[in-house]
């Protein structure tokens, strides 16, 4: 396990893809499919996104309680990401495709995304995240 973990960390460190790493969400503004608008900050909702060279994962807590987890594969081209959900704590999300545009400035990640449901309704979001400092190593 330690060799595998070391290999993954080395691949991430040597990746030329700037999205690779762990990102802690600082804030989010969103509009749901029904038009409801909302927002949260890191004080009420914890979102951690992890990207390696080919896969991504998000785990979320709200008000100190588990909310959801999901992840899968992604394709990055220029500053656009297409995320495909392959596994989720909500099986209804499996197969969902998320598209977002992002930019990285220093240690901050700004992303704007959209998703359209089967009824043609669109949800949007604007997230600001910060790259996690340091790397934990196995002993």
For residues 80 and 99, is the Cβ–Cβ distance under 8 A?
Answer: yes
Each of the 139 residues of the chain gets a pLDDT tens digit; together they read: 343 333 344 444 445 788 999 999 999 999 999 999 999 999 999 999 999 999 999 999 998 899 999 999 999 999 999 999 999 999 988 999 999 999 999 999 999 999 988 888 999 999 999 999 765 544 4
Global pTM value: 0.81
Predicted pLDDT at 119: 87
């Amino acid at each position: 396990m330690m060799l595998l973990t070391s290999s993954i960390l080395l691949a991430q460190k040597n990746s030329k893809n700037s999205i690779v790493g762990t990102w802690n969400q600082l804030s989010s503004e969103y509009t749901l499919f029904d038009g409801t608008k909302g927002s949260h900050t890191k004080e009420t909702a914890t979102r951690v996104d992890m990207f390696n060279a080919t896969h991504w994962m998000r785990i979320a807590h709200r008000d100190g309680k588990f909310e959801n987890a999901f992840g899968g594969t992604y394709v990055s081209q220029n500053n656009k990401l297409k995320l495909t959900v392959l596994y989720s704590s909500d099986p209804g999300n499996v197969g969902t495709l998320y598209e977002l545009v992002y930019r990285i400035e220093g240690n901050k990640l700004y992303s704007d995304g959209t998703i359209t449901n089967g009824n043609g309704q669109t949800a949007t979001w604007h997230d600001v995240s910060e790259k996690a400092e340091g790397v934990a190593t196995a002993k």
